[in-house]
Structure formats: structure tokens, C-alpha cells
Amino acid sequence: MMTDFTGEHTWLPIQHELSLRKLIEGSEYQEELKYDFNIKGELRHLDTNESFVFNYYKNAHEQNHKRYQALGHSITQYIYELLERVWMLQKVYIPTDATEDEPRSFFFMSKNALTSSSSLIVLLQDRGVFRAGQWGHRTIVSEGLVHGTQILFIKMALERHGGVIVLNPNDNFVDLKTEKEKLSFSARKEALTSTQSVWRIPKRGSSSPEEHTLYVWDRFISESAAKNVAFIAHGYGGLVFVDLLVQRKWEVMNKVYSVAFIDSVHNTWHQTRSDPQIQEWIQKYCREWVSSSKPLDKAVGSLMKTNCPTVSAGTEKYGLAPSCCLHAIFKYLKRALKAKTTTACRHSPVATRSSASKKRGDKKMYTD
């Protein structure tokens, strides 16, 4: 059964001040895309109140696809506005040392994400055309903002953990055919000499989901004041996190207290290169929710994956998995954080003059 989040709280404050329709106006498909989100976050036609129809043109798949792409672009811009104007997240451009005319990517984070000592939640999405703040474009179109976006995850992260970082791992290239960004001569030269198409220029520091996540980790998350960081990773995002864990083993194992995977495509044995310490850490500090016919949180056996406890997401539909296990994930993270802080307090040494005089430059090693 699908959870009705709209009856629990005001999930989207001042929603009426934002309009998808205004973002669609001016495009070549403005007459064919008379859609907007209603108060429940559902995409509906302004005249008929019907759901989105993909086959608008008869026997014209390419034209229907272009219309769908135009809608997707407007939805992406709409969600960016939600993140900035409603949830007051900051848009952070990377690389931080980019020149004025160099292609840049970006991600979002809450105001005090780097300076607050409270726990920090990092959202890492699946691979696809969708951008920051989205779990899946098709799910947004068919099921609405509640199920297809990360809005409720952001809301709960801010309420219960204090800080949130919304990664943007799929924003990897500048498309010269559609984007109007000014590019430096060096950027053009790089595009012409790369193996990529001359029409696609990679964004430095974000040319792949793995590179984007590693860049944000090195320059932001690892340097944050938060001692307790948790990742929520969907689909390919799980593979990206494990890649980060392998690349920054001790840093990640010391700073990240838990990971919630959702239908992850990572492979522990292949990615970790048979590193028993990493494998043990994943088994102890991670849990995965998978699409299943079983009730929510019921154990799901797997012959292929024995990397961490695996439970049902409460739905068989891949696109609905994140929203269906939302509350279960945050209950799990709450218990995991409590367990870590309790263990830290129990193992904390009594302050003495000798302990205070120890070298502060000693490298902290991973402990339970």
C-alpha cells in the first residue's frame, strides 16, 4: 500500500508561489504542455485535470520524446527552485577554482551543513537524466513530487539531523547543442581532443557520478564539522558510495556512521577488492531496502548479495522504493546514530594532563 504523506504534514510550504507552468512558457511546447503540480504535488493538465499523456502526437515517437524532454527540463528547474526558495538550500558551484567561463556543476546543501556539529545526511541518487533533488523523472511525472523527489528526505534530514547535502552526480557535461554557456578556449580544446563527442564537454571534477561524489567529499563533507555523517544511496548511487569508500577508506569509515542503500547496484566483493575491513564495515554499518512483494522491513534473502542486511522496501515498483521506505530508513539511521554515540561515550577516555598533552597531529584510526 502506498503511503499518503500529504495527510501527515504540510510537506510543501508556500507551494502556490511556485509554478511549473511559468517555466514551460516560452518553450516551443508551451501549448502542448499545459501542466502544473496541484496541491498534492501531482502533475495534472490545467484544463482536463488528467495525468500526463506521453503519446500526444499520433505515430510520432521522436516528437513525443522531445516534448517529454522539454517537460523534464522544466521539472528540473522547478525542483531547483524548491530546493533554494522553499527549503533554503544553498547552491554550491564546483570546481571551486573554476574560471569565469569554465563549465561548472553544482550541488545543494543546508546553510549550516559544514559548520554545525550535528549529524549530516547526504543524498546520492541513481544514474539517469534527472538531476539534484530527484529520485526519478518518470516517477515524478506518473506519481508526483512526493514519490519522485527527495523533498521529504530533505525535510526529515533537516528536522531530525540538522544538515543535508544533496548531490548532483548526473550533471556531467555541457551539451553545446542545447546549452548557451560561454566556454573558454581551453575548454573547447579539451573537448576536441577528448574521446567524447565534440558537442559534449565534461565538467571538471564532475565528469562522472564517481568523480562528482569524490570531489564533494574531499572539499566539503570530509572538512565539515559534523562528526556523524550518513548516506542514503539509491540504485547506481550505492555503487558510487562503495567506490568512495574504497578511495577514501579510513576517512569514510571514521566519519560515516551508517548507509541506507535502496535497490543498490553495488557489488561488495568486486568493488572492495576482497578487503576484509571494508567488507566487515559494510556488513556492520549498512542496510539495504530492495523492491519486494514482502511487507516493509521484512528480511529479503539473496544468493548474490550477502554484503549487508537486506529488507523489503514495501513495494515491488523500483521507482516507488525510496518514498515507501522513507520512514523505515530514518528510524534505522536514528538507531544507528544512537548506537554510535553511546559507544563513543562508553569508550571516551577520562581527561587527564597526560592525555591532553598528546600530539594533536596523530592520525585517528578506525574503531568500532
CATH number, domain with residue 316: 3.40.50
Q: How far is CA 112 from CA 86, 117, 225, 248, 360, in A?
A: 16, 9, 10, 24, 26
- pLDDT at res. 348: 55
Q: How far is CA 200 from CA 3, 173, 185, 187, in A?
A: 41, 6, 14, 11
Q: Are residues 152 and 62 in the same domain?
A: no
Q: Are residues 301 and 167 in the same domain?
A: yes
Residue 196: pLDDT above 70?
no
Residue 7: pLDDT above 70?
no
> Which range is least confidently modeled, 12-16, 105-109, 147-151?
12-16
Identify the domain containing residue 331 by its residue range: 90-345
Q: 10 Å Cβ neighbour count for 140?
A: 29
Secondary structure letter of residue 104 according to DSSP: -
Q: Are residues 138 and 65 in the same domain?
A: no
Per-residue pLDDT reduced to its tens digit, 273-329: 779 999 999 999 999 999 999 999 999 976 555 579 999 999 999 999 999 999 999
Q: Map grid coordinates 557535461 to a residue.
A: 173
Comparison of pLDDT for 238 and 175, the residue scoring more: 238
Pick left, alpha or beta for residue 247 (phi over 0 → left; psi -120 to 50 → alpha; otherwise beta): alpha
Domain end call among 44, 62, 86? 86
- pLDDT at res. 200: 81
Per-residue pLDDT reduced to its tens digit, 241-269: 999 999 999 999 999 999 999 999 998 87
Cβ burial, residue 51 (10 Å; 0-12/13-18/19+):
middle
Q: Are residues 128 and 79 in the same domain?
A: no
- pLDDT at res. 11: 53
Number of domains comprising the chain: 2
- The answer to the question of residue 364 being in a domain is no
- The answer to the question of residue 2 being in a domain is no
- Determine how β-strand 120-124 pairs with β-strand 163-166: parallel
